[in-house]
Amino acid sequence: MKVVLQNLTKRFPNRNKKGDDVIAVNDFNFEIPDGKLIGLLGPSGCGKSTTLNLICGLETPSSGKILFGDDDVTRLPPENRGVGLVFQNYALYPHLTVLDNILFPLQNLRGTEKLTKQQMQEKALTAARLVQIDQLLERKPSELSGGQQQRVAIARALVKMPRVLLLDEPLSNLDARLRLQTREEIRRIQQETGITTIFVTHDQDEAMSISDMIVVMKDGVVQQIGQPQDVYDSPVNLFVATFLGTPPINVLDGRVQGGRLYIGDAAVLAVPGVGDQKVSVGIRPEAFTLDEKGPFEVSLSRVEVMGRDTSVVSTHPASRNPFIRAIIPARNKVDRTAKTVRFSLMGEKVFLFDANTDARIYFDAE
Ligand code: ADP
Ligand code: MG
């Protein structure tokens, strides 16, 4: 099911009554293609949950529209939208077994939707198999691990075969290893069912790894929408550039003069077509190449071995962070006793941003 958000806006009265309204979601426009997994990504408070709540009907927009396919669902109550919801805290009924938890959404169906006991059992079993908990059906939630509880919650959201599946930080309560495993599971389930899914997270790694497309939000405003790799390779502003990537992008003060980018006194890169101005420079950790004659010289702090790669940690007066981090292949040896290291930079991994607005300034990397 295609989901269309048109000028979707939600204002809340400020919680401390005197302040201005909070615009939790500000003019959100997006046509979510049918059958895709969308990662909705941004820091805490940027409006992710509000967006999901608007889509499922737990909140009403201040303005704008929501369509499922051609149906305008903006004013439809949540139970009539055909959405499945999964939250961070699994919200299972503690006194019910796994099976009864999954059956629960089916038991209140009325009229033409009403199911026989047998039909309900079949649907519950199908959902349980999909999330691989069919051997745990008689247990109570307290007898399950966090990961298993979250699978039950997903099965319960899937049992009515929703038109749209909404997941709000579903992995946040799981430990690191389970988080990795469960996100792969969610991807598999989504692909097997083909249900249009919106997955909310503040973890860029999580969103990048399983989404067909990501939406990056800040302060209620969508910053960029695209395929994860495209957004990583070509961020539209400094916020998006710094939000995506581990280790994060290095940010430095720079200036452009005569088509060349200067950091400190060193001309480090040709940036054809960019006018003379101060800029913020974003350099991805993988942009650095060890080069004795390279133009960018930094003070070496330490070298961290990571197995496949080596992380060269350094300082430079123009850096906005305490350290600059370069990731280079482990076979390229760094002299650990050296005071300084020289690099050349890969143009397509270096981004310039307007020093005042943080908007990207484009140039043709050579
Ligand atoms: P996220 O899920 O990205 O952390 P939310 O959507 O929960 O962000 O919140 C977005 C903004 O809206 C925040 O500033 C939050 O404080 C505010 N907000 C959310 N719900 C309410 C509410 N019911 N009343 C007032 N402000 C709210
Ligand atoms: Mg939230």
- Does the pLDDT at position 17 exceed 80? no
Antiparallel, parallel or unpaired: β 288-290 and 340-345: antiparallel
| Dist CA 201 CA 88 (whole Å) | 10
Residue identified by tokens 């055909």 is: 82
Distances from the Cα of 310 to the Cα of 165, 176, 303, 313, 332, angstroms: 40, 23, 7, 10, 8
In the prediction, which pLDDT does 95 show?
96
Distance (Å) from CA 294 to ligand 2 centroid? 45
- DSSP secondary-structure letter at 203? -
Q: What is the mean pLDDT of the chain?
A: 95
Q: Is this prediction's pTM over 0.85? A: yes
Residue-wise pLDDT tens digits, 210-227: 999 999 999 999 999 999
Distance (Å) from CA 219 to ligand 1 centroid? 10
Edge-to-edge order in the sheet of strand 164-168: 83-86, 164-168, 196-201, 37-41, 213-218, 221-226
Split at pLDDT 50, 70, 90, the class of 110 is confident
Distance (Å) from CA 94 to ligand 2 centroid? 24
Residue identified by tokens 């389930």 is: 189
In the prediction, which pLDDT does 4 show?
98
- Measured in whole angstroms, the distance separating CA 95 from the mean position of its chain's CA atoms is 34
Residue-wise pLDDT tens digits, 255-303: 999 999 999 999 999 999 999 999 999 999 999 999 999 999 999 999 9
Edge-to-edge order in the sheet of strand 71-72: 22-32, 3-12, 63-68, 71-72
Residue 118: other Cβ atoms inside 10 A: 8
Residue-wise pLDDT tens digits, 227-262: 999 999 999 999 999 999 999 999 999 999 999 999
Residue identified by tokens 């280079």 is: 328
Query: What number does the ligand 1 atom closest to the CA of 44 have?
Result: 4
Instruction: Select from 9, 22, 88 the residue to mutate for testing ligand 1; criterion: most ligand atoms less than 8 Å from CB.
Output: 22
User: What letter represents residue 325's amino acid?
Assistant: R
Using H for helix, E for strand and C for coil, what is the string for 323-341? CEEEEEECCCCCCCCCCEE
Split at pLDDT 50, 70, 90, the class of 178 is confident
Q: For the structural domain made of 3-239, what CATH number should be given?
A: 3.40.50.300
- Does the pLDDT at position 111 exceed 90? no
Distance (Å) from CA 124 to ligand 2 centroid? 29
Query: What number does the ligand 1 atom closest to the CA of 50 have?
Result: 6
| Dist CA 37 CA 165 (whole Å) | 9
Distance (Å) from CA 200 to ligand 2 centroid? 8
Distance (Å) from CA 48 to ligand 2 centroid? 6
Query: What number does the ligand 1 atom closest to the CA of 15 have?
Result: 25
Query: What number does the ligand 1 atom closest to the CA of 48 have?
Result: 3
Which ligand has the nearest atom to the CA of 53? 1
Ligand 1 lining (C-beta closer than 6 Å): 12, 15, 22, 24, 42, 44-50
What integer is the mean pLDDT of 12-22? 86
Kindly report the protein residue whose alpha carbon is nearest to atom 22 of ligand 1: 12
Which residue ranges make up each domain of the chain? 3-239, 249-361
